[in-house]
Structure 1
Amino acid sequence: MNTKLINRPLYEDVAERLREQIFAHELAPGSWLDEQSLALQFGISRTPMREAIKVLASEGLVTTKMNKGAYVTEVDRRDLEQIFTVLSLLEGQAAKETALKASEEQLTALDNLHHRLEKAAADRDIEQFFDINVKFHDMIQNIAGNKWMNGVIVDLRKVLKLQRRDSLSRSGRLL
């Protein structure tokens, strides 16, 4: 992995790189995160690796077990049901606030994104679908302007991203 570091704490860069590996399933759900070997692989000490793992744990992407270490979070059906329940409440509120606050230009932009989203689904273009879906929801959140609600939504979406490809390839879904 030959990525340039940007001007931020090392543990944040390490967390971002681990996050990418988790989303790409290079670090599979349920797999143990061996701090020592990961630190060696990244060419860093264990301290920034430990801090990076704490960041991912706070986002729900990693689960820590007392005296056993950290593991990539496994999301089961019950977890998904609970996450979607909370997410639907929060995103419903964001949509309500957006409906009250949005300008005509913003509504037009949302409508355009929605049409592009429908086209990506019809074309079964999963990458395009996910990219546009994120932009659509981000725009709604930005218009709503509630930083606390947005922070929770962002973290819940990260956990959902662990399962997104699997969920859309089931019968009757996008793929």
Structure 2
Amino acid sequence: MAVAGQPLHDTVAIQVRDLIFAGTLAAGELLDEKALCDQLSVSRTPLREALKLLVSEGLLRHEPRRGCFVETVTERDLDDIFPVIALLEGRAAYEATKKLSSADRAVLDVMHEQLTHYAEAGDIAAYYRMNHQIHEAFITLADNRWLAQAIADLRRILRLARLHQLRAPGRLQASLQEHLDIYAVMLTGDADAAEQTMRNHLLQQRKALLRITPLSMSRIAL
């Protein structure tokens, strides 16, 4: 459904992006434009404009005379990306710590309580969603649009990989403890320590992915 004031191809891009993130469109899959037009109830023109946008984001790969394929990300890509996003999100934690207010703390307290609840219940999907919201909250608090954009670009690639890493043995509880540690440090006002703790958290995600044999032996859908 189109959003008022939003170009149709942007709406279509959101829908196709969701299909990629959900795994409905698998890594390496050739997109069937006619089937997508039927599924999304749109003509080829807005669909093709949407696909161009997703190619520019790195989610799709266009091959002349063949069409668009869902892009894949390799182990080498992950090795290159995780240290970079660790630096960026570490900086976000640093800036967020400097700007944390009592009102912000009240909201974050509740979010971390919910995160703990989902971890204890073993609800990986709900944990992942709250995990994402907490990271987004820190980035919003940092209030640095250039930092936010750089992180968003890399997160598109890591989105599914982060969900998979929570399935590594013991990773869910370890991730929870890392989050609680980050927040505890932020509450002390020590921005430098918050930055380093966040960096360590992101690097631990990469290590967790390496412990998942099926994932480490294959490619990951963006």
TM-score, with length taken from structure 1 = 0.85
Give the Cα separation in 2 of the matches to 1:60 and 1:17. Answer: 16
Distance 1:163 1:135 in 2: 17
SS of equivalent to 1:17 = helix
Which among 40, 45, 60 is matched to residue 58 of structure 2? 60
Which one-letter code corresponds to 1:143 in the other structure? L
Check whether the contact 1:75–1:162 (CA below 8 A) recurs between aligned residues. no
More helix by share: 2
> What is the CA–CA distance in structure 1 between the aligned matches of 2:84 and 2:37, rounded to whole Å?
35
For residue 77 of structure 1, the aligned residue among 75, 78, 83 is 75
Moved over 4 A (4+): none
1:156 pairs with 2:143? no
Q: Which runs of 5+ in 2 are unaligned?
A: 174-222
**Aligned pair in 2 of structure 1 residues 111, 43: CA closer, same or farther (>3 Å)?**
closer
Contact 2:128 2:163 in 1 (8 A): no
Cα distance change of structure 1 residues 134 and 165 upon mapping to structure 2, 3 Å threshold: closer
Using the aligned pairs only, state the percent identity: 41
Q: 1:84 & 1:115 partners in 2: Cα distance? A: 27
Which residue matches 1:167?
165
Distance in 2, Cα, partners of 1:116 & 1:67: 49
Distance verdict in 2 for CA 1:55–1:162, change over 3 Å: farther
Give the letter aligned to residue 6 of structure 1.
Answer: V
Question: Whose RCO is larger (CA < 8 A, sep 6+)?
Answer: 2
Aligned to 1:139: 137
CA distance 1:138–1:48, shift in 2 (3 Å): same
Corresponding residue pairs, total: 172
Bigger mean CA offset, 37-46 vs 92-101:
37-46
Give the secondary-structure state (helix, strand or coil) at the position aligned to 2:72.
coil
Specify the alignment match of 2:187 in structure 1: none
CA contact (8 A) 2:60 2:68 kept: yes
Listed as ranges, the gaps of 5+ residues in structure 1 are: none
> Which residue is equivalent to 1:21?
19
Q: d(CA) in 2 for partners of 1:98 and 1:83?
A: 22
The answer to whether structure 1 residue 125 and structure 2 residue 99 are counterparts is no
Distance (Å, rounded) in 2 between the aligned partners of 1:67 and 1:102? 52
1:77-105: CA deviation from partner (whole Å, max 9, x where unpaired): 22222221111111111110111111122
1:50 match: 48
Q: Which residue of 1 aligns with 2:177?
A: none
Q: 1:22–1:162: 8 Å Cα contact kept in structure 2?
A: no
